[in-house]
């Protein structure tokens, strides 16, 4: 468990964050966060570099884009877990190419997407 990959979770809805946290732990990952807003996420990123990240897009009206940009600069791969559809994200260069597993993801697909990210990194 010591070298289990660390996943940063950014999600403003605490019950959904809890569910993500539980699914990731069950899948053998360590969780950083969950952070519920952009500044909390950026603070966590200053302290340590995660191996990957899962981001909600709309954090109580605030877009997660600044976090995605920092992750890109740190070469940390990330996926989105957002209710937004591709068209909503077109204007956001940092987000539009990321895999989006949606808000009601299937646990096996979440873990599969993460494995894909970590393998490619």
**β-pairing, 58-59 with 62-63?**
antiparallel
Stretch that binds other proteins, among 41-49, 65-73, 93-101, 102-110 (CB under 8 A): 102-110
Q: Does 15 bind other proteins (CB under 8 A)?
A: yes
Q: What phi and psi, each to the nearest 5 degrees, are found at residue 20?
A: -60, -45
Q: Which of residues 72-91 bind other proteins (CB under 8 A)?
A: 83-84, 88
Element (H, E) at 13: none
Question: Nearest distance from residue 42's CB to other proteins, in Å?
Answer: 18
On whether the CB atoms of residues 86 and 42 are closer than 8 A, the answer is no
Longest dimension (CA), the chain: 40
Q: Does 60 bind other proteins (CB under 8 A)?
A: yes
Q: Does 22 bind other proteins (CB under 8 A)?
A: yes
Q: Judged by CB under 8 A, does residue 62 bind other proteins?
A: no
Alpha carbon distance, N-terminus to C-terminus of the chain: 20
Q: Does 17 bind other proteins (CB under 8 A)?
A: yes
Q: Which residues bind other proteins (CB under 8 A)?
A: 13-19, 22-23, 36, 58, 60, 83-84, 88, 102-104
């Amino acid at each position: 468990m010591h070298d289990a990959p660390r996943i940063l979770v950014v999600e403003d809805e605490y019950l959904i964050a809890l569910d993500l946290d539980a699914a990731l732990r069950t899948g053998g990952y360590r969780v950083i966060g969950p952070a519920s807003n952009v500044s909390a996420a950026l603070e966590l990123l200053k302290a340590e570099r995660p191996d990957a990240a899962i981001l909600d897009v709309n954090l109580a009206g605030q877009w997660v884009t600044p976090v995605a940009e920092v992750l890109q600069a740190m070469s940390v791969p990330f996926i989105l877990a957002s209710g937004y559809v591709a068209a909503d994200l077109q204007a956001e260069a940092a987000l539009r190419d990321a895999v989006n597993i949606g808000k009601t993801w299937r646990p096996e697909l979440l873990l599969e997407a993460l494995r894909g990210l970590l393998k490619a990194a």
